[in-house]
Structure 1
Amino acid sequence: MSAMPIPHASTHPATPAPRTALDGRMPAAPGDLRIEAHGIAPVPETHRYGGAGRLFTVWFAPNLTMSGVFTGTVGIALGLDFATALAAVVLGTLVGAVPTAYLGTWGSRTGSGQLPLARLAFGGGVVLPGTVQWLSSIAWDALIGLFGGDALARLCGWPFWLGALVMMAAQGLLGAFGYEVIHRLQQWMTAVLAVAFVALALRLAHIGVTPEAHGSVHGADRAGAFALTSTIALSLALSWAPYASDFSRYLPRATSPVRMFWCTLLGVVVSFTGVQALGLWGASIFTDQTARGVDTVLGGGVLGSVGLLAVALAALCSNAMNDYSGSLALQTVGVRIPRPLAAALAALLGFPLVLWMHAADTAARFQNVLLFVGYWIPGFVAVVVVDWWARGRERGGADMDLSVERTRTRSALPPLLAFLCAFAATVPFMNTSLYVGPVAEALHGADLGYYVAFLVGLAVYAPFRLRRRTSHDGPAGS
């Protein structure tokens, strides 16, 4: 399968271009909640709207999920005390959020989503990271839908499979409606979910749950547990990086990149740190059955039902974004189906994975999928950032024009080589229940794979990309 060129954006077209699966109807203004048929074609300047402030809510609400709470429990499960585990969570979240916030600033400058933009760096080789991103969006559907489906099933008295099925159908529908519906949903749910999680924290305090004051690991084992907890937190925040500009591509070109960066960074860091801190605090209650844990903490009844509804709505918010970005990734690799159908397809394929994760050791399967779906991202980030900087230098600081940049093609081999080398370099550093690399084992469980992957990606790709262009540089392939 080959990736097709992205159609050129035109600010003032002389005649309407024929619509394809890659373009189509776009939202016209805030509150335009009709289905967005527009795919990966760049959004023209005439259809841009909104402000940087909406990036805070679109990156805040989807992270207030029980998957984040459950991830927070891992630090205590590894034997850390609350304060040390919280420090690891803050560090990892901040490091992982910076690339997401930076890449998000590209949306207003180009009108393009993140995977479509990656074609500039990867050329025809974008099929590889695009396919991995599409598969990752399905995996995230399962990771988050696991808890949302469980909460919905408990709330309605349904079997788990039915709760998961309804959850996946609803998120697929939201993903199909697209950009403006997702932004508006996150605006509404920011306040609702923030109140719900604050209420959960107050309830923990009321029933006397206390943070773990003393850890059970010491010395090198403590350092290894700290590193692994930090890496897991990093993986959550960094997982949004391949989605980043998907949710800023309709912002006007004049939108301040600095404001965009900080709104995104604060949205990701505050939300993820908050829910993981809650998980650390209530680790004795929030086991792998987090929906049941919420119901127990809130005492059942009406309050427990409200809590379960909040868990289900949080999963819905997050997975709608997974399905939306998954639809753009699928088009990027060359699958010519309308974006709304592609979003629904991601939700459909996530359903059996949810059932698989629920069928056995949920905790182990959750951690394995969580880490594996992110090991490829640091190498991807390294490649696209180096290419972006190199193109900026070649333009002499002029504004980016995608129609021009797409004519400046380069070989797809160096970025693919860097991408693959970055992923391969993580293997000795991995720490999952399926495989523990020799370096991770020697470092008492510390998983440094994400950091190594980014550095290796830079080291392999930068010398190729930053050298002076020669006549040997050819088309990127198709």
Structure 2
Amino acid sequence: MSPTETSPPLIEKHTIGYVPPADRHGKTRDLFTLWFGGNIAPLPIVTGALAVQLFHLNLLWGVVAILVGHLAGGALMALHSAQGPQMGIPQMIQSRAQFGSLGSLLVVAIAGVMYIGFFTSNIVLAGESLHGIAPAVPLPVGIIIGAVGSGIIGIIGYRFIHVLNRIGTWVLGIGIVLGFGYIFSHIHTADFLTRGGFSLYGWLATVSLAALWQIAFAPYVSDYSRYLPENVSVAGTFWATYWGSTLGSSLSFIFGAVAVLATPPGLQTMDAVRAATGAIGPLMLVLFLLSVISHNALNLYGAVMSLITLVQTFFWRWIPGSKSRAVLSAIALVICSVAAIFASADFISHFVDLVLALLVVLVPWTAINLIDFYAIHKGNYDISSIFQVDGGIYGRYNPQALLAYGIGIVVQIPFMNTPLYVGPVSAWINGADLSWLIGLLVTSPLYYWLASRNSAYRRRQQSYCRPA
């Protein structure tokens, strides 16, 4: 029986270790449903509404900006996804091949903090949603229910996450289409098409929001393609991920903008969604709640994988299995739940602000990872070296990658617009954040030039051995 015909276990047994061919399964179409279903949720709806609420674009220019941003950022995200079947290992541990075993620790730690931040904020959102749907359920109880639901999904792991999103694609896809239909047939405002206008800064800011939404998935996107058989094509993996993520997130972003324009100004986004969808509003909120719980499992899963990667750096013979992942998931779940219940609303919002600011340091990592994989090594890596404490042929540090990474962060600073800092160039163009674009344009050629000039690094790309 071939690897693709075997029935994989319900509970995932692998963590950061290489997935051998005998344990590979699935089809590239599973990536479409994973990223489409996972992006039909309240957070992208709220984010998309900013195009008209904060940046005052009208419907036409808002939709154009949303599509441009997602289509551009989605290409980077999907290129990371295509690495999964070729490497058979999670995204973050693969960074050791570019930065070295110790050089990669900073990026892995930052990714872990991001996952924890998103998981905590999402269980608060789930608790608030459940309390809003059923006021008899206290907010802390709602938070715990949301956390436990996500925790169970995350502990079961890869296969269950894919199954739920396969179902969610149909349910949430039909739901959001019905929502659009109801809104367009029950518009409550006379300025639905004319409210707002066009401004270059608002358009660029919306493009950046959409692009960064896609880039934020980069640190863990290939975690959900690494079980696919080695013989699946790079193009097939790319396009399934690309269209799933860009279509799902674009629909949610546009839905938020449409709901806000269809209701009187001044309403919060989810209140506008409830008002705009009228009779089917409660059903929409229930679907969104289920989506938050399901998709938030990815954040918990990613946080635990990052933690295991950090520890394994110093204990390279330790490749944990499902029990270790379950224990670490339970510990992370409890800590995040306590923080979500007892921390003040200001603390949660400030922590989320920090998480959003950390996206700045992921842009140069994205550039280095993609250039190294596609242009330098062309997908050929020594997997065994990646799991060695001294980095094997990749060493403990890669000076070229670290130099390009540092410069890639510094050049973004004047163009940044985060809740914690606004750069002078961004302030001059009324708040548009172009840091991600500058980071990509500088880091990509810089790293390629540095790596190509290093003869020792060129020799290493010839010295790989993929495990049998």
Corresponding position: 1:36 with 2:36: no
Q: Is the 8 A contact 2:155 2:329 kept in 1?
A: yes
Corresponding position: 1:214 with 2:179: no
Deviations 1:414-458 (A, max 9, x none): 322322332232222122344221010112221101111222322
* Aligned partner of residue 255 in structure 1, secondary structure: coil
CA distance in 2, matches of 1:60, 1:419: 31
Q: Is the 8 A contact 2:61 2:197 kept in 1?
A: no
Match in the other structure for 1:183: 162
- Shift of the alpha carbon at 1:264? 0.4
Corresponding position: 1:273 with 2:254: no
Corresponding position: 1:422 with 2:399: no
CA distance in 1, matches of 2:347, 2:66: 24
Corresponding position: 1:173 with 2:124: no
In the superposition, relative to structure 1, how do residues 199 and 94 fare at CA in structure 2: closer, same or farther (>3 Å)?
Answer: same
In the superposition, relative to structure 1, how do residues 316 and 27 fare at CA in structure 2: closer, same or farther (>3 Å)?
Answer: farther
In the superposition, relative to structure 1, how do residues 351 and 82 fare at CA in structure 2: closer, same or farther (>3 Å)?
Answer: farther
Q: Is the 8 A contact 2:426 2:434 kept in 1?
A: yes
Q: Which segment drifts farther, 58-67 or 435-444? A: 435-444
- Shift of the alpha carbon at 1:168? 1.5
Q: 2:328 aligns with which of 334, 342, 348?
A: 342
Match in the other structure for 2:466: none
Match in the other structure for 1:92: 69
CA distance in 1, matches of 2:339, 2:4: 32
Q: Is the 8 A contact 1:431 1:447 kept in 2?
A: yes
Deviations 1:75-126 (A, max 9, x none): 1011111111111111111111111111111111121110111111111211
Match in the other structure for 1:200: 179
Q: Is the 8 A contact 1:31 1:184 kept in 2?
A: no
- Shift of the alpha carbon at 1:199? 2.0
- Shift of the alpha carbon at 1:331? 1.2
CA distance in 1, matches of 2:239, 2:429: 34
Counting only pairs closer than 5 Å after superposition, residues 109-128 of structure 1 correspond to structure 2 as 109-123=86-100, 124-128=102-106
- Shift of the alpha carbon at 1:32? 3.7
- Shift of the alpha carbon at 1:151? 1.5
CA distance in 2, matches of 1:288, 1:351: 29
* Aligned partner of residue 36 in structure 1, secondary structure: coil
CA distance in 1, matches of 2:452, 2:308: 29
Matched residues, percent identical? 26
- Shift of the alpha carbon at 1:231? 0.7
Aligned-residue RMSD, C-alpha: 3.1
In the superposition, relative to structure 1, how do residues 388 and 95 fare at CA in structure 2: closer, same or farther (>3 Å)?
Answer: same
CA distance in 2, matches of 1:304, 1:471: 57
Q: 1:150 aligns with which of 118, 124, 128?
A: 128
* Aligned partner of residue 236 in structure 1, secondary structure: helix
Match in the other structure for 1:372: 357
Counting only pairs closer than 5 Å after superposition, residues 288-367 of structure 1 correspond to structure 2 as 289-299=268-278, 303-334=280-311, 338-351=324-337, 354=340, 359=345
Match in the other structure for 1:251: 228
Deviations 1:202-230 (A, max 9, x none): 22123214674335466xxx111111111
CA distance in 2, matches of 1:176, 1:449: 36
In the superposition, relative to structure 1, how do residues 453 and 463 fare at CA in structure 2: closer, same or farther (>3 Å)?
Answer: same
Match in the other structure for 2:452: 466
Q: 1:384 aligns with which of 369, 384, 389?
A: 369
CA distance in 1, matches of 2:168, 2:266: 25
In the superposition, relative to structure 1, how do residues 383 and 441 fare at CA in structure 2: closer, same or farther (>3 Å)?
Answer: same
Match in the other structure for 2:109: 131
In the superposition, relative to structure 1, how do residues 417 and 27 fare at CA in structure 2: closer, same or farther (>3 Å)?
Answer: farther
Match in the other structure for 2:218: 241
In the superposition, relative to structure 1, how do residues 317 and 323 fare at CA in structure 2: closer, same or farther (>3 Å)?
Answer: same
* Aligned partner of residue 333 in structure 1, secondary structure: helix
- Shift of the alpha carbon at 1:287? 7.3
* Aligned residue type for 2:292: A
Q: Is the 8 A contact 2:121 2:340 kept in 1?
A: yes
Q: Which runs of 5+ in 2 are unaligned?
A: 313-317, 461-468
In the superposition, relative to structure 1, how do residues 87 and 347 fare at CA in structure 2: closer, same or farther (>3 Å)?
Answer: farther
CA distance in 1, matches of 2:89, 2:458: 29
- Shift of the alpha carbon at 1:67? 0.6
Corresponding position: 1:232 with 2:209: yes
Match in the other structure for 2:465: none
Q: Is the 8 A contact 2:148 2:333 kept in 1?
A: yes
Q: Is the 8 A contact 2:89 2:226 kept in 1?
A: yes
* Aligned partner of residue 375 in structure 1, secondary structure: helix
Q: Is the 8 A contact 2:52 2:62 kept in 1?
A: yes
Match in the other structure for 1:6: none
Q: Is the 8 A contact 2:376 2:448 kept in 1?
A: no
Name the count of aligned residue pairs. Answer: 438
* Aligned partner of residue 423 in structure 1, secondary structure: helix
* Aligned partner of residue 270 in structure 1, secondary structure: helix
Match in the other structure for 1:65: 41
Q: Is the 8 A contact 2:259 2:272 kept in 1?
A: no
Match in the other structure for 2:421: 435
TM-score by length of 1: 0.83
CA distance in 1, matches of 2:170, 2:458: 55
* Aligned residue type for 1:455: L
Q: Is the 8 A contact 1:66 1:290 kept in 2?
A: no
CA distance in 1, matches of 2:406, 2:294: 32
* Aligned partner of residue 359 in structure 2, secondary structure: coil
Match in the other structure for 1:140: 118
Match in the other structure for 2:84: 107
CA distance in 1, matches of 2:240, 2:4: 22
* Aligned residue type for 1:136: M
In the superposition, relative to structure 1, how do residues 228 and 47 fare at CA in structure 2: closer, same or farther (>3 Å)?
Answer: same
Q: Is the 8 A contact 2:4 2:26 kept in 1?
A: no
CA distance in 2, matches of 1:298, 1:442: 39
* Aligned residue type for 1:444: N
Q: 1:402 aligns with which of 351, 359, 383?
A: 383
In the superposition, relative to structure 1, how do residues 45 and 131 fare at CA in structure 2: closer, same or farther (>3 Å)?
Answer: same
- Shift of the alpha carbon at 1:348? 3.7
Q: Which segment drifts farther, 366-375 or 178-187? A: 366-375
In the superposition, relative to structure 1, how do residues 311 and 389 fare at CA in structure 2: closer, same or farther (>3 Å)?
Answer: closer
Q: Which segment drifts farther, 352-361 or 428-437? A: 352-361
CA distance in 1, matches of 2:339, 2:437: 28
